[in-house]
Structure 1
Amino acid sequence: MTRGRRVGLAAAIALALFVAYEVISSFVAFTDDAYVQSDLVALAPQVTGRIIAVHVADNQDVAEGDLLASIDPVPFQLALDQRRADLAEARAQIASDQHRIASARDALAAASSAADFASENEKRLTTLASAQDVSRVALDQASDTLRRANAARDAAQESVAATEATLSMHQASHAHANSALALAEWQLARTKLVAPTSGTVTSLSLRVGDTAQADVPLIGIVDARAWRIVANFKESYIRGFAVGSTAWVSLDSDPWHLHRAKVTGIARGISREPVPNRLLNYVAPTTDWIRLKRRFPVTLTLVDPPETLYGCRRQGGRAAMSGAATRAISALRRELLEIDLAGPRGHHCSRVALAVTLAVIVALVLRVDAPWWAAISAFVSTQVTAPSSLRRGALRIVGTAIGAAAGLLLSPWLIEDQVALSLALFIASSIGVLGLQVSRHAMPGCSAPSRPTWCCSQRSTIRPRRCQSPATVLPR
């Protein structure tokens, strides 16, 4: 295949991939800016007292209603007993007032009867006095008796009213004592801290002997019923979203498995700046030096979440990691034992290791943001001979400059689109592989495909192939 056909084939592949991406992205929206979120229930006691028992441990799963901690109930029990005594006293006072009211009403009835009799007697004597049948003295005595009877009746009425007012006051005291008793019972019941919802206790630092303050959070519980997925999509994607539509989610806690989810909410607005009250969601941009499309939160809930989805199967995971680490250490040990530093190949490896070490040291001294980039550059640029190393280093510098310029120009379109970024990297890699096939700088010391080159077999033995100079061959 000629060079022109290779370039044309690469361009056709890149164009086809770009068209395929544009078609797929018009039907499928993808984002990896997503996270699983739940609610943190900050449990605060409603009474103040000393902690006498803690019944849970950190990271323990609890169910709704489980006992978490206990506050010393003795002061609240004493207060409850006092309120019960006050209520009993108020009841006794009400009973006494009721007896007094009954006596006052009897006295009022007697006084009223005496006043009525005196009034009738005074009327009869007045009639007889007008006929000169009784003396004036008898009439005056009857009038005086009537006045005394009326006064006694008025006094009896005032006594009944006063006794009824006292009863009303004591009934109010009874209601107050009853309310105080209910409050004391409620406070005593609140000495038991129970889980308001099912979840997992987190960041527990409560200990026996601590003083619990009312309305000050003591225990945090991650709500097991409020798990949801919040995914930030670009504004150009969400116009086709609808509540109830289906989405497929891959979780880091359960990789290589897609879970079906439903869209339960789409944010109608976001804050352009961070706000402390969080009345509007703030989606931080991925960079602060490029104008990007705004992203809006979309809430998803899994349709059929497995029971172990949000719980970590830690024991099995640790065992698998331990076995993998053991095998990796054994393999590394075998590789280290097979290293042979004698001969040209060992000398070249030593030069590469020294170059990488010096590059990292210089990068750290200069406080470069990415010292690993200096290590990679030193590893790639160090060749068998000094001229080839200089040529490779120059090509490295030129390639880095070109890559940085291309990244600066393409970053507004690629920085938030992982699929497009992967496509661009694939195209760049394809161009690089094609360049290795046609460039005269593909291998050090060889300027064209007709020039001699050297290569390695799977067993790391060097097979010279029409090499121009034996110095380019590294025997094992």
Structure 2
Amino acid sequence: MKKPLLSATLFARVALTLVVVVIAAFVLWRVVDYYTFAPWTRDGRVSANVIQVAPDVSGLILKVNVADNQAVRQGQVLFVIDPARFELALQQAQANALQRKATLDQARREYARNKTLSDLVAHEVLEVSLSRVQAAEAAYADAQVAIGVAQLNQQRATVVSPVDGYLSDRAPRDGEFVTAGRSVMAIVDTNSFRVDGYFEETKLHDISIGQGVTIHLMGDDRPLHGHVQSIAVAIEDRDRAQGSNLLPNVNPAFSWVRLAQRIPVRVKLDEIPPGVRLIAGRTATVSIDPLPGNKRSHASGSAP
């Protein structure tokens, strides 16, 4: 009577062991599939366009209207360069234009008089008076351009924000001298935030333009959603350099362990939930959502 009971107990243990083994194998397969083949990466970064603000004219800063790390709007005045020199340059250009206008009027009167007296005035004299009118007209046009340049310099003495964004942590100070074309502050464009994911080349076959993407920022549990905007078409070849004779200098060393190259994939954010703080350079986990009908069903959440 004890042998059937023993056989049933043994059968139950074997069945339970098989069930546990099957479950463990399935879980192991899922983990290996996710980490090896699923298109996701922890190597993601929040990126944004950084606008270098440089004045178009040189001079002393009269007043700075913003502070470090401040939010600014497009067209908002950042700082003002002392306009005194530009006002004087405008007055000088206007005075020069008046002088050339007087010269032009005089040349026109002389040409009109000589033309009226064409029977009494030599043809060469008429041509000379005409050339004087043309030269005076060119000089007066040049003076008008000088006025426009002076007005533009006066206008550019007030430096405004080109985009909506946030200032860097180094705004200029009152009294500093700035040079035309030299950057004095940086603005992070808030309308250009995106995520760059660096995927292994072995996972690119599951990534397509326009495909949905789920992003998890480090330290924030709220997911962000976007779509693949572009995939890089070239990366730097670190094993090849240019020799002194302009021939390729290829590294002869080769490691037996070949690591997959990382390919940048740009992700455009569809929407940003309220309260999520986007900071350029912040770390992100990027997971490509499976396409409809794809047999492989990858988890779209953060990596385990």
Instruction: Give 1:272's aligned residue.
Output: 237
Displacement of 1:106 in angstroms is 2.0
- In 2, the alpha carbon distance for the partners of 1:306 and 1:95 equals 68
Q: Cα offset for 1:36? A: 0.4
Q: What residue in structure 2 maps to residue 180 of structure 1? A: 146
Aligned match of 1:93: 103
Pair 1:31-2:56 in alignment: no
Are 2:7 and 1:42 aligned? no
User: Could you list the per-position Cα deviations for residues 340-370 of structure 1 after superposition, in whole angstroms to 9, with x for gaps in the alignment?
Assistant: xxxxxxxxxxxxxxxxxxxxxxxxxxxxxxx
Q: Is 1:83 paired with 2:93?
A: yes
| AA aligned opposite 2:260 | K
> Which structure is higher in RCO with an 8 Å CA cutoff and minimum separation 6?
2
* Superposition map of 1:281-300 within 5 A: 291-300=258-267
Q: Shift of residue 34 of structure 1?
A: 0.4
Instruction: Show the 5 A alignment for 1:207-246.
Output: 207-246=173-212
In the alignment of these two chains, the number of paired residues is: 257
Identity across matched positions, percent: 25
User: Which amino acid in structure 1 is aligned with residue 128 of structure 2?
Assistant: A
Q: Distance in 1 between matches of 2:94 and 2:259?
A: 69
Shift of 1:206: 1.0
Q: Do 2:212 and 2:227's aligned partners in 1 also have CA atoms closer than 8 Å? A: yes
2:139 aligned partner, one-letter code: S
TM-superposed deviation, 1:53: 0.4
Equivalent positions of 1:27-426 (< 5 A) are 28-109=38-119, 111=120, 153=121, 155=122, 157-252=123-218, 255-273=220-238, 291-310=258-277
1:274/1:218 Cα in 2 relative to 1: closer, same or farther (>3 Å)?
farther
8 Å contact 2:48–2:192 — kept in the other structure? yes
Displacement of 1:309 in angstroms is 2.5
Q: How does 1:3-14 map to 2 (within 5 A)?
A: 12-14=22-24
Deviation readout 1:269-325 (Å, 9 max, x if unpaired):
2113399xxxxxxxxxxxx9953111111111111213432368xxxxxxxxxxxxx
Residues 118-154 of structure 1: per-residue CA shift (max 9 Å, x gap): xxxxxxxxxxxxxxxxxxxxxxxxxxxxxxxxxxx5x
The alignment partner of 2:96 has SS state of helix
SS at match of 1:268: coil
CA distance in 2, matches of 1:24, 1:273: 29
Mapped to 1, the partners of 2:239 and 2:179 lie a distance apart of: 32
| Offset of residue 73 of structure 1 | 0.2
Deviation at 1:41, TM superposition (A): 0.5
Taking structure 1 as the reference length, the TM-score comes to 0.50
Q: 1:418-457: per-residue Cα shift (whole Å, max 9, x none)?
A: 96xx6xxxxxxxxxxxxxxxxxxxxxxxxxxxxxxxxxxx
Report the CA distance between 1:10 and its aligned residue.
6.8
Q: Residue 263 of structure 2 aligns to a residue in which SS?
A: strand
Q: CA deviation at 1:248?
A: 1.0
User: Helix, strand or coil: the match of 2:105?
Assistant: helix
User: In proportion to residue count, which structure has more strand?
Assistant: 2
Distance 2:275 2:56 in 1: 34
Greater share of residues in helix: 1
Shift of 1:239: 1.5
Gap runs ≥5 in structure 2: 1-8, 241-254, 280-301
Q: 1:185, 1:51 → 2: CA distance?
A: 18
Q: 1:46 to 1:230 in 2, by over 3 A?
A: same
2:233 and 2:47 map into 1 onto residues whose CA distance is: 19
Question: Counterpart in 2 of 1:150?
Answer: none
TM-score, scaled to structure 2: 0.77
Please tell me the root mean square deviation across aligned C-alpha atoms, in Å: 2.8
CA distance in 1, matches of 2:142, 2:203: 63
Query: Residues of 1 paired with 2:259 and 2:278: CA distance?
Result: 36
